[in-house]
Amino acid sequence: MIRVLIATSNPGKLRDFAGAASPLGIAIESLPNFASIPTPAEDGLTFEANARKKAEYYSKHAPEEIVLADDSGLEVDALGGAPGVHSARYAADQPHLVGNNTDDQANNARLIRELRKIPREKRTGRFVCVIAAARDGQTLSVHRGQAEGMLLDSPRGSNGFGYDPLFFFPPIQKTFAQLTPEEKAKHSHRGAAFRHFLDWYLTKN
């Protein structure tokens, strides 16, 4: 079985990647000793900048291995693209100045407050994921995926993480938090980006 290392300890992300990889006989593993490696600052202005920075940084801790890192988030049209690259720390008063992620529940609560002044038909947005693959500190490839949807004013579903309970995906009439890992891999931004990576990877190996 092929092994792919992911620079994350987030169990939700690992489930998402595994859901897309397992049908192809590819094993997803967290980067060894990931928790003990100092975290780089995610100060890029775009998802791609942050993904590249993390992949290059963490790949130095696993010589000769391909290491994946992703940066992802939610863009709400009526909020000018916010929370965007600050999605994981949106609950902070000044998200761009905060190094640590804020709680999912707090982030969702802030988003719900922001949505109250926006008519339901204008609550359009998308999840975006950019995955960078790197080896020995050098980016090898970059892959982007996105999913278009609507934002709800109350959560639905108990699966997933982050903004999944508020992200309603019209083609299947469910939120991402109502999906199994396999269903989410099929429809999500992370699943799309990871499939692009797998297409690239399988043609190179």
The predicted-structure confidence for 126-150, as pLDDT tens digits, reads as follows 999 999 999 999 999 999 999 999 9
pLDDT single digits (tens) 74-127? 999 999 999 999 998 998 876 665 567 888 999 999 999 999 989 999 999 999
- SS3 state at 143: strand
Find tokens 């993480």 and name the residue.
161
For the segment 18-38, the average pLDDT, to the nearest whole number, is 88
Q: Are 199 and 141 in contact (CB under 8 A)?
A: no
Q: Are 65 and 78 in contact (CB under 8 A)?
A: no
Q: Hey, where are the domains in the chain? A: 2-204
- SS3 state at 62: coil
Torsion angles phi and psi, residue 141, rounded to 5 = -160, 160
Find tokens 């998200």 and name the residue.
95
Share of the chain above pLDDT 70, in %: 96
**Amino acid sitting at position 5:** L
Fold of 2-204: Maf protein (3.90.950)
Q: H or E stretch including 34?
A: none
Confirm whether 164 is a catalytic residue: no
Torsion angles phi and psi, residue 46, rounded to 5 = -135, 160
Catalytic residue among 16, 71, 104, 164: 71
For the segment 4-23, the average pLDDT, to the nearest whole number, is 86
The structure tokens listed for 173 are: 């009439």
The pLDDT of residue 99 is 63
Closest of 141, 144, 143, 133 to residue 59, by C-alpha: 133
